[in-house]
Structure 1
């Protein structure tokens, strides 16, 4: 049960287990956490059925863009909603800062001109904007591990460790039809069982199992736990824009990829080299991150804008309570 707007201790640990392996069975999660099977299954099933926690499957991240809008006074939600309503938008936030809203969209370089010159100017309430191409992902939510479970519990659940995200995009690869069917079937429910996936794809259960394992191992399938960080006790969120010398970008990116508070981060074009979304339990913790982290030694400037609302997270519209 939710208490005071957060999940219970056991529920948070279940979420932490799903972040390690979103397809782990309830008995396997229960064994790793040292809890009774029935209790874990009941709480886990209720979390997923209620919609406050979702496990989704996604293809490996492709080139995208970060879009920041300056809106007419008092119309930040309108601008953010206009971006969230786009099918290619992955995340959309309302900010308290120089920009009123920020979004991540799926936009390869071939589409950038049309988006920037033709589509962006048509957004309502627009007073100014910035568009930055994603050069590398430092972290997406598929790799977010905010310390909800201990190291031993984590190690007991690790089945497939996907490749690191801070890597070149490489050449676009064609996805064969069976893999495409699997990715589509897992997009809204990453926990669909093997028999159900076999029925959707026409493959045998053993073939489905092998393909899912291969896709996860190679990074072609990333499982994400979609949840409001506030439910986990991380009520302070901000978008942090980092400026550093080009030669220091890899070191700063690597350090950020190890920060439990970083939910999402990307290296981008523009006057800031890295843009990150962070989630922390208190304002004091945000202060410490911005003033005491070791990676700040390589940073010339870091600017934080509080996130005051989220309309879309990992491709899914959020509950009204987050707006």
Structure 2
């Protein structure tokens, strides 16, 4: 895993805040030479060490915890990763072999659970846990490489997004074409979006703004945690009394170590994806955090391979 240097981390951190920011905007915010920023940023994107992508918002989201037949975990992780509607697919330790998230619509849940997952290669048993609320998704995760002033320069007056809703925004055929462009490449130029969607550049600008403002597509900058000095990733499954869920969820939302946190319907009430430098830091996370005393019990599964993140397939060798 190639580790990003200091400038590369700052560029990645800037694009986390605003994936469509121009190189000029990034350079001005970071007080760097525009050509230097453009050269390094273009190389990061072209090499795949970072990726700016979008994910369509959906009205239903489901976590799948799969136990696999012996030796079948890579096959199952691959099958779930290559689904167009999955956002991530991880091989993990413990009694569960693979964890994946599927973004869908409510009218497809029955077929998804009873037929599609049941016939997924390698799965011996699957637990499905519908997401009730997001406290944080990876579009809000920050690698912490910028000063407060730099953050404010990049965010400007843009509102802070609420991670808590699940929605399926109705799009026209034209808007769907534009949304597909943003999903494939969040930094695609308005000129290219206009060409692909068969509209004027002015229309493309207006519709992109509308789609993003209404959360039809959620943009995010993807970077492997290990590339920014966080090689240990774990999913922490919390069991909590109902009255404590919201308070603990809000505490997790404020914790910079958390990449993803969601309230679930199932055997665990909250799942947390956390990335840290060492196992000692993970120990402190689950024992010393302000929310720890409110949890009845928890399980930890370590992520050993991320085949898909944020809707993008990683190379099979990426861990």
Pick the TM interval, shorter chain. over 0.9
Instruction: Identify the residue that residue 54 of structure 1 maps to in structure 2.
Output: 51
Q: Give the counterpart of 2:97 among 92, 96, 100.
A: 100
Q: Which moved more, 1:106-115 or 1:10-19?
A: 106-115
Instruction: Identify the residue that residue 246 of structure 1 maps to in structure 2.
Output: 242
How big is the shift at 1:231? 0.9
Residues in 1 aligned to 2:81 and 2:282: alpha-carbon distance in whole angstroms: 26
Give a deviation string over 1:102-146, Cα, whole Å, max 9, x none.
000123332222222222232333332211111112222222123
Q: Give the counterpart of 2:84 among 83, 87, 96.
A: 87
Tell me the SS of whatever aligns to 2:40: helix
Q: Give the counterpart of 2:128 among 118, 122, 131.
A: 131
Q: Give the counterpart of 1:263 among 250, 259, 264.
A: 259
Residues in 2 aligned to 1:60 and 1:322: alpha-carbon distance in whole angstroms: 26
Give a deviation string over 1:31-66, Cα, whole Å, max 9, x none.
111211111111000000111211012333531110
Matched, 1:216 2:216: no
User: Residues 240 and 275 of structure 1 are in contact (CA less than 8 Å); yes or no, is this contact kept in structure 2?
Assistant: yes
Instruction: Identify the residue that residue 224 of structure 2 maps to in structure 1.
Output: 228
Instruction: Identify the residue that residue 178 of structure 2 maps to in structure 1.
Output: 182
Residues in 1 aligned to 2:3 and 2:169: alpha-carbon distance in whole angstroms: 41
How big is the shift at 1:162? 5.0
Alignment of 1:271-290 (within 5 A): 271-290=267-286
Instruction: Identify the residue that residue 309 of structure 1 maps to in structure 2.
Output: 305
Quickly say closer, same or farther: Cα 1:180–1:288, change in 2 above 3 A: same
Instruction: Identify the residue that residue 162 of structure 2 maps to in structure 1.
Output: 164
Quickly say closer, same or farther: Cα 1:209–1:86, change in 2 above 3 A: closer
Residues in 2 aligned to 1:211 and 1:133: alpha-carbon distance in whole angstroms: 31
Poorly superposed stretches of 4+, deviation over 4 Å: none
Quickly say closer, same or farther: Cα 1:118–1:211, change in 2 above 3 A: closer
Matched, 1:319 2:315: yes
Q: Which moved more, 1:256-265 or 1:40-49?
A: 256-265
Quickly say closer, same or farther: Cα 1:217–1:112, change in 2 above 3 A: closer
How big is the shift at 1:317? 1.1
How big is the shift at 1:28? 1.0
Give a deviation string over 1:235-278, Cα, whole Å, max 9, x none.
00001111111121111111111222222222111121111211
Residues in 2 aligned to 1:176 and 1:127: alpha-carbon distance in whole angstroms: 40
Quickly say closer, same or farther: Cα 1:201–1:125, change in 2 above 3 A: closer
How big is the shift at 1:174? 1.7
TM-score (structure 1 length as normaliser): 0.92
TM-score (structure 2 length as normaliser): 0.93
Residues in 2 aligned to 1:282 and 1:31: alpha-carbon distance in whole angstroms: 35
Residues in 1 aligned to 2:195 and 2:10: alpha-carbon distance in whole angstroms: 32
Residues in 2 aligned to 1:88 and 1:276: alpha-carbon distance in whole angstroms: 21
Q: Give the counterpart of 1:29 among 26, 29, 41.
A: 26
Q: Which runs of 5+ in 2 are unaligned?
A: none
Q: Which runs of 5+ in 1 are unaligned?
A: none
Provide the aligned length of Structure 1 versus Structure 2: 318
Tell me the SS of whatever aligns to 1:174: coil
Instruction: Identify the residue that residue 113 of structure 1 maps to in structure 2.
Output: 110
Q: Which moved more, 1:9-18 or 1:50-59?
A: 50-59
Quickly say closer, same or farther: Cα 1:73–1:146, change in 2 above 3 A: same
Instruction: Identify the residue that residue 16 of structure 2 maps to in structure 1.
Output: 19
Residues in 2 aligned to 1:56 and 1:250: alpha-carbon distance in whole angstroms: 29
Residues in 2 aligned to 1:321 and 1:187: alpha-carbon distance in whole angstroms: 24
Q: Which moved more, 1:59-68 or 1:34-43?
A: 59-68
